[in-house]
Amino acid sequence: MAEAVLIDTWGWLALGHRRDSRHQEVKALYQQLREEGAQLYTTDYVLDEVMTLVFRRESFAEAVGFMEGIFQASQEGRLVIERVTSECFTTAWELRKRLQGKPKISFTDLTSMVIMRDRNIKKVLTDDDHFTHVGMDLQKIP
């Protein structure tokens, strides 16, 4: 089976925003991952960020359609939406304190990193270098 990949906020926004400079690249990668049978993940915290930003950037109808597509992918089993539990939150908070020298890493990214570690996910669809700077052997794609 193909590897698991977590889709970060950047990945969703590049995928959902046709005018994004990397939209075609991310769309092709997303389709390739699906064809290869990769197990795709995201988190409720990531979707919180995506929803906030997509409704600012797109028309209401386009934003609704995009989010509905994500939810449908989850309902059909093509995407796993991981929930940030209280345990995950606490572990991310401990990680936040350990990464004192990296104040620009968002708490959402920290919760994603904890989920990735717990689910043994090594790849993340993002343009965010923070994932590769925390010593957790994570690899960003593309």
> Is the predicted pLDDT of residue 2 greater than 80, yes or no?
no
Distance separating alpha carbons of residues 133 and 115, to the nearest angstrom: 17
Distance separating alpha carbons of residues 53 and 35, to the nearest angstrom: 28
DSSP string covering 21-52, please? TTHHHHHHHHHHHHHTTPEEEEEHHHHHHHHH
If you average pLDDT over every residue of the chain, what do you get?
A: 94
Band the pLDDT of 17: cuts 50, 70, 90.
confident
Please give the CATH architecture assigned to the domain spanning 4-141: 3-Layer(aba) Sandwich (3.40)
> Is the predicted pLDDT of residue 126 greater than 90, yes or no?
yes
Q: Where are the domains of the chain?
A: 4-141
- The secondary structure of residue 61, as a DSSP letter, is H
- The secondary structure of residue 8, as a DSSP letter, is P
Instruction: Write the pLDDT tens digit of every residue in 27-73.
Output: 999 999 999 999 999 999 999 999 999 999 999 999 999 999 999 99
